[in-house]
Amino acid sequence: MRPKSALCLMALILLVQLQPGAGALSGNVERLVSTVTLDLRSAAWRPVPGDSYALVAGESGTVLQYTGKFFITLQPNTTSDLSGVAWHPSGSKALLVGRDGAFLEFDGNGFRSAPFNTTFWFEDVKWRPQGDFALVAGHNGTLIRTEGSVFTHLNSTVNFTITSISWRPDGRFAFLCGDFPFVLRYDPETGQSARLETGVSGQFLRGVSWRPDGGAALVFGTLGNLFRYDGSGFTPLNSPTANQWLAGAWSPDNRTALLAARGGLLYRFEEGKALAPITTNTTQSIHSIAYTLNGSYALCAGSGGLVLRYPPTETPLPNPPVDGDDGSDWLLLSAVLVATFALMTVGVAVYMSLRARRKQREADELADAELHAVELAAQKKGPEGT
């Protein structure tokens, strides 16, 4: 093997051996290190392009801020379980609600709490897309309208737990789901809620996710109940599981949606196609799904501190130095790469020098041979001439 080829092969081997390892990939998803082991119940991205991050809330007042690269643990002034997070459309503040009457407002720097009777147990909160007010829902049919400081109790017409609020993207009405077999349609103009029957009885419809263009919604619940709503009625869809659906979210591209069921099940929905399973390699349930603003990936938060990213990063980056690591591995890698390049440069120079010398030697030998031939011819001609 030529010296140049040998040096190139050596450099390639070094690069392969020193290539940083991939992140914690599980099948078709990437598992992120959330730094907590408590259940996470809700996630929402700040709707500000260029300055977006996710808030993830859960048990015992857990609130995490995910920057897109790592998690930061925030310190709210509560230890109550939190189950709902909603950003104002302007991104100026977020509301967080939960058990024991927990109602928090986060402005990006700190938390402010509203005094609520601890008998209240809130499950969800959602701002109207226009940003003029938010709805808060919870146990015993609780439904509250608030601008952030003024709270108006509404008649939900039910005494059961309302688990989910989902506004149609144009803000004309909101769907409410919970421990009942129908959907409540809340009209912000009248403040009234009307029942929409789905044909289900004795089972619960626990959540709704509207397509970003408002043309359709997915409604899901217990025993694998799954419907598509198109404005005229609820169409049952073939469910690949009898497990309870826990979360759903449409991609901003309006073409696909993610649905999560109990036991770590995750599926990809696309209009006109069967739900496609996504391997998660976990039995921990996903309770909330939130897509980034550009739809590049979704964050899935769940039991035991579970946080998944779908799809995973195309080229997973190594973890940054933590816990006192000074990044010496990166310095070593850089040094080896520099040394390898230097060796290749020196090797090429030596090779070129040897090649030039060899050509010069061959030229000298050829010249010597020609001169010797001339001398022999002259010697032979001399005697003949005498």
| CATH, residue 157 | 2.130.10.10
The pLDDT assigned to 115 comes to: 80
Strand-pairing partners, residue 136, are 125, 144
The pLDDT assigned to 118 comes to: 87
Residue 351 shares a structural domain with residue 221: no
Residue 250 shares a structural domain with residue 336: no
Query: What is the length of the chain?
Result: 386
The pLDDT assigned to 149 comes to: 79
Q: Which residue, 261, 280, 310, sits at the end of a domain? A: 310
Q: Dihedral through CA 148, CA 151, CA 152, CA 158, nearest 10?
A: 90
Do 310 and 38 contact (CB within 8 A), yes or no? no
315 is a domain residue: no
- Give the residue among 130, 97, 121 at the shortest CA–CA distance from 111: 97
* Cα–Cα dist 346/353, whole Å: 10
Which helix (H) or strand (E) element contains residue 18? Answer: helix 3-18
Residue 234 shares a structural domain with residue 359: no
* Tens digit of each residue's pLDDT (9 = 90 or more) over 204-246: 999 999 999 999 999 999 999 999 999 999 999 999 999 999 9
**Mean predicted lDDT score pLDDT of the chain:** 85
pTM (whole model) above 0.85: no
The answer to whether residue 328 scores a pLDDT higher than 70 is no
Residue 206 shares a structural domain with residue 58: yes
- Give the residue among 171, 242, 259, 248 at the shortest CA–CA distance from 208: 248
The pLDDT assigned to 116 comes to: 87
* Cα–Cα dist 72/58, whole Å: 14
Which of the pair, 135 or 378, is modelled with greater confidence?
135
Do 258 and 310 contact (CB within 8 A), yes or no? yes
Q: What percent of the chain has pLDDT over 70?
A: 74
Q: Which residue, 275, 310, 345, sits at the end of a domain? A: 310
The pLDDT assigned to 121 comes to: 97
Number of compact structural domains in the chain = 2
Q: Confidence class of residue 117 from pLDDT cuts 50, 70 and 90?
A: confident
Place of tokens 């029957």: 197
Q: Confidence class of residue 6 from pLDDT cuts 50, 70 and 90?
A: very low
Do 54 and 46 contact (CB within 8 A), yes or no? yes
**DSSP letters for 25-46:** EETTEEE---S--S-EEEEEE-
12 is a domain residue: no
- Give the residue among 207, 167, 212, 159 at the shortest CA–CA distance from 183: 207
The pLDDT assigned to 10 comes to: 45
Which amino acid would we find at residue 163?
T
Encoded tokens for 325: 């690591």
Residue 148 shares a structural domain with residue 86: yes
Residue 273 shares a structural domain with residue 148: yes
Q: Confidence class of residue 373 from pLDDT cuts 50, 70 and 90?
A: low
Which amino acid would we find at residue 107?
D
| Domain span at 357 | 331-385
* Cα–Cα dist 178/221, whole Å: 9
7 is a domain residue: no
Do 225 and 205 contact (CB within 8 A), yes or no? yes
The answer to whether residue 331 scores a pLDDT higher than 80 is no
Q: Dihedral through CA 326, CA 332, CA 333, CA 339, nearest 10?
A: 150
Do 171 and 181 contact (CB within 8 A), yes or no? no
317 is a domain residue: no
CA 337 to chain centroid: 32
Q: Confidence class of residue 11 from pLDDT cuts 50, 70 and 90?
A: very low
The pLDDT assigned to 353 comes to: 58
80 is a domain residue: yes
322 is a domain residue: no
The answer to whether residue 375 scores a pLDDT higher than 60 is no
The answer to whether residue 140 scores a pLDDT higher than 90 is yes
Residue 218 shares a structural domain with residue 339: no
* Cα–Cα dist 340/79, whole Å: 55
Which of the pair, 316 or 254, is modelled with greater confidence?
254
Residue 276 shares a structural domain with residue 341: no
* Maximum separation of any 2 CA atoms in the chain, in Å: 139
Residue 352 shares a structural domain with residue 294: no
Tell me the C-alpha to C-alpha distance, in Å, between residue 344 and each of 11, 226, 323: 8, 62, 36
* Tens digit of each residue's pLDDT (9 = 90 or more) over 172-198: 999 999 999 999 999 999 999 999 999
368 is a domain residue: yes
3-state secondary structure of 22: coil
Residue 46 burial (CB count, 10 A)? 21
Residue 297 shares a structural domain with residue 341: no
255 is a domain residue: yes
DSSP 303: G
Residue 353 shares a structural domain with residue 220: no
Encoded tokens for 114: 């509203």
* Tens digit of each residue's pLDDT (9 = 90 or more) over 278-327: 999 999 999 999 999 999 999 999 999 999 999 998 754 555 544 444 44
The answer to whether residue 377 scores a pLDDT higher than 80 is no
Residue 193 shares a structural domain with residue 109: yes
Tell me the C-alpha to C-alpha distance, in Å, between residue 214 and each of 42, 186, 209, 251, 252: 22, 16, 10, 12, 11
